[in-house]
Amino acid sequence: MSIFNKAPLRNDDDGARRPRASAPEGAASEAPTPGSVPSRKGSSVAKRKNLGVGSFVLLALGAFVFLFPFYYMFIGSLQTSPDTSVGGAFPSPANITGENYSNINNSIDLLKGLANSGIFTGGVIFFTVVFGLLVGYALAQMQFRGKGFVFGMMLLVQMIPFQLLLIPLYVMIVRDYGLSDSYLGMILPFAINSTAVFVFRQYFMQLPSTLFEAARIDGASELRILWQIAIPLVRPAIVTAILLTFIGPWNEFLWPFLVTKDQAMEPLAVSLANYISNIAATASNPFGAILAGACVLAAPAVALFIFFQRQFISTNIGSSVKG
């Protein structure tokens, strides 16, 4: 239900015009891997360098504005007493402690929260990858009745605003099915990410259909074709889909907040939010504890994204099919 849902709608146009534009976020299309720079058109590089200085300053300023709060989050999480002066933005050895982390861990069980977030997110990723690959493959490489309906539905679904579903889903899942305080209740509304389905379909579309026809002639079952031929060829799509599916449930607050009443079931985002709104006021160093919790919540997402960033750029479906 994140805003991310709508991105590839636009990239469909991109893909149609430029068959090699494979990474749905435009990540690969402007891949700045060291090796790729010299291969650019010489004139264009020279021209760009002339224009680069002003842009560079602007970008550096932007990067500071975007990154500083994260740096400050980390510094703040280590301060014995909050120092909000300008000097406080720099680490001072006298004012460093790990106490905030143990304080927040005493109020909300960080490990339990992380585990709940992990199960919630992992469940969504699991359903998305398993069922998304199936439907994505079917939409791209199989001819069957109702295909147009499924495809149209996939596009339309991404337009459904979550706020409209909020009340009926709450009535159904929490009240009618009694799924409050359960992982299934958290996962259900997000179970299959339509954006990921779209990504899978786009990647499968780029594989030559002759490949699959040949396999069918050789008598391979569709499931075997999918498992042994199609999936190995679209591994980068799986990484992409996992990354963009991850962002949704890991960061989701409203829905798990409504579903969980039991503190032991809360994902970390929910327990930290409850700490901020209810408990923080009574703590001795509330900001230190909040920021420590924030670091724990933010770290996996940031680390995952930075770690897979390189792979996200350099893997290009075009080369993996040709190679």
41 binds other proteins (CB under 8 A): yes
Residue 189 Cβ vs other proteins, minimum distance, rounded to whole Å? 6
User: Which range of residues in 90-98, 108-116, 234-242, 292-300 is near other proteins by CB under 8 A?
Assistant: 292-300
Site for other proteins in 143-202 (CB under 8 A): 143-147, 150, 153-154, 157, 160-172, 175-178, 188-189, 191-192, 194, 197
Residue keyed to tokens 């602007």: 58
306 binds other proteins (CB under 8 A): yes
Report long-range pairs for 118-122 (Cβ below 8 Å, ≥24 apart).
119/183, 120/183, 120/186, 120/187, 120/249, 120/250, 120/256, 120/267, 121/246, 121/249, 121/250
User: Which range of residues in 90-98, 105-113, 234-242, 268-276 is near other proteins by CB under 8 A?
Assistant: 268-276
- 106 vs 221, beta carbon nearer other proteins: 221
Residue 264 Cβ vs other proteins, minimum distance, rounded to whole Å? 18
Dist. CA 287–CA 110, nearest whole Å: 16
Token duo for residue 56: 């560079």
**The binder of other proteins chosen from 35, 39, 210, 284 (CB under 8 A):** 210
Cβ contact 155:12 at 8 Å: no
Site for other proteins in 84-143 (CB under 8 A): 84-86, 88-89, 131-132, 134-135, 137-139, 142-143
- 17 vs 93, beta carbon nearer other proteins: 17
Cβ contact 265:115 at 8 Å: no
Site for other proteins in 43-82 (CB under 8 A): 43-45, 47-49, 51-52, 54-56, 58-60, 62-63, 65-67, 69-70, 72-73, 76, 82
- 60 vs 264, beta carbon nearer other proteins: 60
Per-residue b or e along 208-233, where b marks 16 or more CB atoms closer than 10 Å to that residue's CB? eeeebeebeeeebebeebbeebbbeb
Residues in a beta bridge with 79: 96
Nearest to 226, CA basis, from 207, 202, 240: 207
